[in-house]
Copies of this chain bind each other. A is one copy, B any other.
Amino acid sequence: MDLTKGIPIIKYDNGMVLPLEDMVVKEYALTIMLDGEEFITLLCTPSSLDCLTVGFLLSESIIKSKSDIKRIRIDEEKGIAEVSTIDSSMIAKNLHGKRTSTTGCGKGSTFYNAVDSISCRKIMGSMEIDAKAILELMRDFNKRSELFMNTGGVHSVALGTDTDIMLFHEDVGRHNAMDKIVGEASLKDIELSDKIVLTSGRVSSEMLIKAAKAQIPVIVSRSAPTDLAVELASQLGITVIGFARGQRMNIYSNPERIKFQ
């Protein structure tokens, strides 16, 4: 499916008025049907909808792993993701929670429980990464952000090793982009405890909790974290890096994973 759409606009430039065509990013409604019941509608960029569906269900703790899913069928035209699970009564139990609305670009809404962050296991892994390697990854990440460059309307999230970017997704919602990463990693059985996440957007508490649930130890952003995200990161053993640009970055929590030479 096309991710952008050309539409007629009027450009105003210092007194000049010019009718022309501009590319805007598509915003697509995907309704997740869970065992035949309508569950939620996500507004998203229409790419990797299977990854988004699996990642969303994992991030929200509706499923514990991809093996809880019997079948996914995406109907792109109707905007429906039909998910059959292996145990619908367990799913119904997982759904029973508090609803929190969030600061996030991106899906933003979450069946999120006040104790969710506490139920995340603290990340103890011994992963280490060189500061220079992070800035190198960030340069590569910036180069890949094509949809953003074309339309100015999306966020990117990538999954990296200490030398390479393995997975990359773009979405009008940065939380969707993160869920696509988590979903694709799950579908491809990629171990996350020795990887880092790169994001173009802010690190809010919800982004942090998504990383924690997926057991990703390092999150690097071109932008800023919030105080709550840093606090949760300290508790949950996640290294948060912000303003990673050019030769610089700020390390907000758990700096022991970063090697400085």
Which residues of A come within 8 Å of B, CB atoms?
4-5, 7, 9-15, 17, 22, 24-29, 38, 40-44, 98-110, 131, 151-153, 171-176, 202, 204-206, 223-230, 242-243, 247-252, 255, 258, 260-261
Interchain CB contact under 8 A, B43 and A172:
no
- Pick the contact of A172: B131, B172, B204, B252 (CB < 8 A): B204
* Total copies of this chain within the assembly: 2
Interchain CB contact under 8 A, A227 and B105:
no
Q: Give the chain B neighbours of A152 by CB distance below 8 A.
A: 223-224, 242-243
Interchain CB contact under 8 A, B108 and A153:
no
In the complex, what distance in Å separates the CA atom of A28 from the CA atom of B14?
41
CB of A203 to closest CB in B, whole Å:
9
Interchain CB contact under 8 A, A247 and B101:
no
Q: Give the chain B neighbours of A252 by CB distance below 8 A.
A: 7, 9, 22, 24
- Pick the contact of A101: B42, B151, B225 (CB < 8 A): B42
CB of A20 to closest CB in B, whole Å:
9
Interchain CB contact under 8 A, B98 and A41:
yes
Interchain CB contact under 8 A, B250 and A9:
yes
Interchain CB contact under 8 A, B103 and A107:
yes
CB of A122 to closest CB in B, whole Å:
20
CB of A239 to closest CB in B, whole Å:
11
Interchain CB contact under 8 A, B100 and A43:
yes
